[in-house]
């Protein structure tokens, strides 16, 4: 039911303009996916592709803000904003299905990381602007959106996790 609803919302969604200095979504017609629901999907994809979980989370946060029905002005869809060609390349039947989207997006990201010998900046630039532009420029292309994207994802990826909440030590009860 949730998939049907997300698909319907995505079909009804208008194409919106991307903010230049923020995530690649605006006023998505669906709620962000529950962290408890998406966490095992991200962890599973990260393990199977040998990509850091935190990197996948950073990409998803930047790409869609965890909105499974997000659609960019260029036609990228879902949590990891798969372009139609990429979705087809990885046999994605429904780009709005969170599991399918994350699995395909993580496989694509892993391919890019391998292609650029582990250079995350280049891999992320290729994820955003396409490998052809990265190859043509010999580095991160001089495209403000791409430079901002790479910087933002790397910042999220490198940010320290917040410390766990401190559990108060109970005071001894005096009788």
Q: Catalytic residue numbers? A: 63
Start-to-end CA distance of the chain, whole Å, equals 56
Provide the 8-state DSSP code for 119. -
Residue 136: exposure state from Cβ atoms within 10 A (0-12, 13-18, ≥19): exposed
Other beta carbons within 10 angstroms of residue 43's beta carbon come to: 14
Q: Pick from 104, 109, 101: which is nearest to 7 by CA?
A: 101
- The CA distance from 61 to 169, in Å, is 35
Torsion of CA 73, 62, 33, 45, to 10 degrees: 110
């Amino acid at each position: 039911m949730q998939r049907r609803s997300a698909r319907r919302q995505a079909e009804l969604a208008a194409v919106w303009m991307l903010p230049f200095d923020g995530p690649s979504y605006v006023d998505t017609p669906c709620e962000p996916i529950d962290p408890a629901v998406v966490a095992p999907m991200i962890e599973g994809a990260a393990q199977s592709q040998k990509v850091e979980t935190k990197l996948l989370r950073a990409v998803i946060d930047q790409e869609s803000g965890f909105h499974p029905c997000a659609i960019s002005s260029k036609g990228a869809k879902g949590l990891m904003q798969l372009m139609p060609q990429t979705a087809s390349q990885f046999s994605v039947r429904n780009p709005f299905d969170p599991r399918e989207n994350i699995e395909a997006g993580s496989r694509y990201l892993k391919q890019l990381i391998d292609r650029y010998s582990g250079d995350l900046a280049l891999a992320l630039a290729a994820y955003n602007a396409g490998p052809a532009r990265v190859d043509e420029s010999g580095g991160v292309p001089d495209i403000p959106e791409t430079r901002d994207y790479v910087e933002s994802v790397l910042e999220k990826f490198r940010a320290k996790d917040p410390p766990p909440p401190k559990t108060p030590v109970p005071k001894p009860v005096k009788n």
